[in-house]
Each structure stands twice: as C-alpha cells, then as structure tokens.
Amino acid sequence: MSDEAEKQDSHADASHHQKDLMDLVNGNGPWQWCIFIVVLVCAMPDGSNNMSMAFIAPNVDHWCARPPETNFSVQEWKEAALPPADTQCSRYRFINISKSSEGGSSGASKETIACESWEYDDSIYSSTIVSQWNLVCDREWLISMSKSIFVAGVFLSSTLFAYLTDKFGRKPLVLVCNILAIISGISCIFSTSFLMFAIARFFVAAAVYAADQAATVLMIEIVSPKCRAPYYCGTYLTWIAGALHLPLIAWWLRDWIWIEFVLILPSVVVLATWWLLPESPRWLLIQGKTEEALKILSEAAKRNGLEISDIKLKEMVTKLKQPNDTENTGINVLDLFKSELRLRTFVLWFIWCATAFVYYGISYNTNELAGDPFLNFALSFAIEIPVTILALISIQYKGRRMSLAVSLPFAGVACLLVYPIPEGLVWMRTSVFLFGKFCISGTFCILCLFTSEIFPTHLRNIGCGLASAVARSAAFLAPFVRELGRASHPVIPQILFGILSIIGGVLALLLPETTNCSVPDTVMEASQISRKTIFKKHNEIQKNLSNGKGTDS
C-alpha cells in the first residue's frame, strides 16, 4: 500500500472511529428517545402480520356438512356417515338420511362421495379464513399459496420499496407504507373472495416490511455508534412482541376479522405520530441537502440540551465531512458490486442464505408440539427475548463479526445433531432444538444490524433489502432440499445445512468489524473502512517489522 493510500485509510479510519455525525448533537438523548418510540410502534405490525396466518388460518377440524333434512347430532353424524379412512373430505352416500326408531341410521350405502360443504369445529376459533372460504381438502393448498403470496410481497418490499427508500428518503416511505398497510388491512377484512384476501395480504406484507425497514434504518442513522446495537435490539424485541401478542389477541377474539382489525391499529398509531419523525440528516447530507440536515441537527442539539450556534454547527459538520462525501450519491445498485463492496455483498448474501437454510432445517427436524396452540406459539417466540439480550451483550463486547462467526456454525451443528438422536430421547432432541433455535435467532438479530452498518448511506436500504430477498429465495428452496432427503437419505439435508452454516461462519471473518464505527456514507468510505478493518493488523505488523520494532505489542 502506498503512503498516499495509507494516509487516506488513516484519515477514513480516524473519521469513523473518533467522531460520528450524531456525536455532534449527542447521539443518545431525548431527541432520539422520542423517535425511538415511534420506530418501535412501526416495527410491531411487521412481526404480527408475518405470523398472523397461524391464527387466521389454523388447522381446524372439519367434516362433511349434515344435509338440512337430517336430525343427526354431530357425533351421530360422524359415526354413521363418515368413513374411518377419511373423516374430513368424504362421506357415505345415503339413500335415506334419517335416524331409525332404534337410534341408528337406515338406508346407508358404503359407497363414498366427496363433501360438497363442510362443518367446522368452533371450540377454539369461532371464525377463520379456512371456514370462511372452505380452504380444506382439495382447496387446502390455497393456504400455502396465500403464505407464498405474502412472502412475495416481502420480496417486492425488499427490492422496489428499499430502492425507493434510498432514493426519496426514510420518512416519506414510512408515511406511504403505513397508509398502504391500513388500506390493505381494511381490504383484507372486507374481502369477498379468497383471491381478494390474498392480493390484499400481498400489499400488507410489502407495506409493513418496508415501513419497518425504513424506520429501523432511520434509527440506526441518527444515534451514535456506541448506541446502535441497544437501539436496534430494542426494535428487534418489538418485532418479537408483535408476534408474541398474537396468541393473547387470538385467544381473546377467536375471529379472524377482529384479529385483522387489531393488526391495523399500530399502523394507525404510526400515522398519527409520523410528524415526530425527522428525515435522516445523514441521508440529507449525502443528497446535498445540507441546509435541511443542519436544521434537523440544530433541533436535535436543542432537544438534547446542547448549546450550539447554527454557524458553529455548520463549521463542525463541514469539518467532519470528507471530500468524497458528495460523490456517488446516485442510487446505482451496481455500486454494490464494485471493489471491496463486491466481496462484501456476495459474502453477506451467502450468509443470509445459510441462515435461512439452517432456520428451516431446524424447523423441519422438530416434531410438532401437542397441547394448547396459543401457549405453544407464545413459548416458541418468548425464547427469542433472552436470545436477543444475549446477542446484544455479545455484539457489544465481542463485536459483530466474531459473534456472527460463532452463532451461525453453532446453529448448523445443532441441525446436524438432531437426526442422530433417537426419537425416544425426546428431552435430548428438544434440548438440541432449543439450542439451535437460540443460535439461529441470535444470528438473525446480529446479521440484520451488521448488514445495515456495512452498506453506505445511499445504498443502505437497497443493500439490506436485496440481502433479505436472497434469503427468502433460499427459504423457498429449503422445502425442496427436504424432499431430496426423502428421495435419498434423511441425513443429507442436515449435512447440507450444517456445511453451509459452517462455511457462512468462516466467510463472516472476511467482513469488516463495525462495532463503534461510524456508518459509511459513500462507496469510497465503505471500501476504505473495509480494507482498513480487515487488513489493519496485517499492515501494522508489516510496518513494525520494516521499522525494526518487532511484533511484541
């Protein structure tokens, strides 16, 4: 490395490790706290809508409906009319559907016919989309299609909406997406057909994910480097809370329409408090809107109790900005594949894919829990609360890169260990599953924060969005890998999941450490920080050796 390049790297490193833009106005004060509350509310609909199908389209016991002229009770009808081999989708053909004087059925034929209509068990749920549109038997596949359509909505959000967020700003997208979420949620409630419901859910998915992503990126960009992890983990915990409160709502309401109505309410709250959100000063500066950024920074300083004149603030911002801060401000996705960014982008994509694969690999090797569906669902997400707290401690004291390089392989090892354990050792299989669940949940938490810290400001949302989109593509492929195991040997998918996760953990070591670093604003800054962080120790050793100082330090 030349002396000039060395100076550039030292200058970039000093800028990113010593002083951050938000440190000028106190990066952790009442101004940030107020915005944080709005961001938390914005994160909740994403978690709740992602998991709501578990309660609006649950497995509901069903059977062929009794003809209007029959006087059978439900139990008598099941015993007399339903064949033991298929009690949900067919019934015997009856010549005379009535009860004889002895209490039995008469005129029953053993020939079976498909159900024309159904009755549903309403002991747990009074109404679901399953009973609303008869999504059972030969129409049951529509439930899976609805889930896939929802994921497609998130995919759209991860690409198009992420691009729009980087182009037009974080604040406008939060507003537009919450309006879209409310309109789409209302459309779900008043859907007159399953197709209308599925289309509305597509836009709900796109809206809530984009709003959450835009708000989270805004939060990361307005706090000081040392506070990013706690603030981000707070939004992650709110996402979990969005899923955790679903069992209580579903248990209380037990009607899919009212559940959907409640899911709209957080978006309404965000819409009412949207004016409290500022635009990201960092994004404004990179777009050349310096005066608007200074106005927001001045307000932040006042709210945080700092006495600083507008002139002094402008001088400090100008001094802090690098000469290349106004370069590469156009939104060009191809910038993600330039120089060091290319390696970084592909490594992150691989890790996101590996994480998604391991998550589903663990899920596929876990027996479905029996018991109360509301309690089981709550417990499966409650476990992620301590995971997030442990992830926060780890990334604060051990760094993002090392935490990721450890948690992902450990999750893959857990995936590998599930299969060899005999099914009779339920406690051991459960323990391995919980350990894997701990690790992979922690990996997701670390990876989301890490990814947002690595990409430059004008590509941050699209970079995170594309990584998430690639991961969801991997999630689509995971079931087919499971089928590969069924066709060959059940252990093959587990070996594949384990190898991918270990490789992902090793590749994580190629990424720059971002703990307590200022997030990069341009491609140039991102590249310099990446090169300096990865090879810093190597360069220092070489420099010491050339100066005859040795490496004792």
pLDDT values of the chain reduced to their tens digit, one per residue, 553 residues: 444 444 444 444 444 444 677 778 888 899 999 999 999 999 999 989 988 888 898 888 878 888 777 777 777 777 777 777 666 777 777 645 555 444 444 445 577 777 888 888 888 888 999 989 988 888 888 888 888 888 889 888 888 888 899 889 999 999 999 999 999 999 999 999 999 999 999 999 999 999 999 999 999 999 988 888 899 899 989 988 888 888 889 889 989 999 999 999 999 999 999 999 999 998 998 888 888 988 999 899 899 888 877 777 777 777 666 544 445 456 677 777 777 788 888 999 999 988 887 776 665 554 444 456 677 677 777 888 898 899 999 998 888 999 999 999 998 888 788 778 777 777 787 778 778 878 888 898 899 889 988 888 888 888 888 888 888 777 767 666 766 766 777 777 778 888 888 899 999 998 888 887 887 877 777 776 655 545 454 444 344 444 444 433 3
Instruction: Give me the CATH code for the 20-50+134-319 domain, please.
Output: 1.20.1250.20
Task: Please report where in the chains the tokens 């990865």 appear, as a residue.
Answer: 534
Per-residue model confidence as pLDDT tens digits over 110-124: 777 778 888 888 888
CB 444 within 8 A of CB 326: no
Rounded to the nearest 5°, which phi and psi values hold at 69? -85, -5
| Neighbouring residues of 547: CB distance < 8 A, sequence distance ≥ 6 | none
Measure the CA–CA gap between 308 and 24, rounded to whole angstroms: 9
Which amino acid does the sequence have at 323? P
**E strand or H helix that includes residue 315:** helix 310-320
Confidence (pTM) = 0.79
- CATH 1.20.1250.20 segments of the chain: 20-50+134-319, 333-545
Task: Please report where in the chains the tokens 């018991």 appear, as a residue.
Answer: 371
- When the candidates are 3.10.450.200, 1.20.1440.230, 1.25.40.10, 1.20.1250.20, the CATH number that belongs to 333-545 is 1.20.1250.20
Q: What is the pLDDT of residue 432?
A: 80
Which DSSP state fits 455? S
Per-residue tokens: 4: 């000039």
Task: Please report where in the chains the tokens 């995919």 appear, as a residue.
Answer: 155
Q: What is the pLDDT of residue 183?
A: 97
Which DSSP state fits 255? B
Per-residue model confidence as pLDDT tens digits over 191-242: 999 999 999 999 999 999 999 999 999 999 999 888 888 998 999 899 888 8
CB 107 within 8 A of CB 96: yes
Q: What is the pLDDT of residue 258?
A: 95
**E strand or H helix that includes residue 368:** none
Q: Which residues of 346-362 are buried (b: 16+ CB within 10 A; e: fewer)?
A: ebbbbbbbbbbbbbbbb
Q: In terms of Cα–Cα distance, which of 378, 368, 363 is closest to 51? A: 378
